[in-house]
Amino acid sequence: MDFEPKITTGSTSPIFRQIVDQVRLAVAHGRLTEGNQLPSVRALAERLLINANTVAKAYAELNAAGVIDTQAGRGVFIAKPRQPYSAAERRRRLEPRLDALLTEALHLGFTLDQIAELLRERARRLADSNSSGKSS
């Protein structure tokens, strides 16, 4: 319940998406695991100084994606990890994001090999922070 997302109001990505991404990241890092309770819609809205509907929208998306279980009247909990999409759908969902990343990285002047190496480096960092609990 001490989950504390940070949002940036003037950012490129919408507030509800920042919440979704941070919950996913926290799950990927192992900071949130099955059964952990998230703050209530209203509590998180107050803490972040945003509208409760915005939090509700983020939670609805996480719910649809099977990341959290929402229990009306009880609260919001991290769900048992599952893999809802078919192999084809998973590729379908990842490819546009890969294309966007590639376009951006190539234009920044990175070569494909550099991008792949950076990717592995970030993945290691992710794995480390996962096992050691927290690192910066």
Q: Name 70's bridge partners.
A: 76
104 binds, among DNA, a second copy, none (CB under 5 to 8 A by kind): a second copy
Residue numbers 52-81 binding DNA by CB under 7 A:
52-54, 56-57, 59-60, 63, 70-76
Amino acid identity at 80: K
Compute the distance between CA of residue 77 and CA of residue 85 in angstroms, rounded to an integer: 21
Strand order from edge to edge, sheet including 75-78: 37-38, 75-78, 68-71
| Per-residue interface string for the shown chain with DNA, residues 6-35, x marking contact by CB under 7 A | --------xxxx------------------
Position 102 contacts a second copy (CB under 8 A): yes
Q: Which residues contact 19 (CB under 8 A, 6 or more apart)?
A: 5, 7, 44, 54, 55, 58
Which residue lies nearer to DNA by CB, 53 or 135?
Answer: 53
Minimal distance in Å, beta carbon 132 to a second copy? 17
- According to CB under 8 A, which one of 2, 6, 49, 71 is a site residue for a second copy? 71
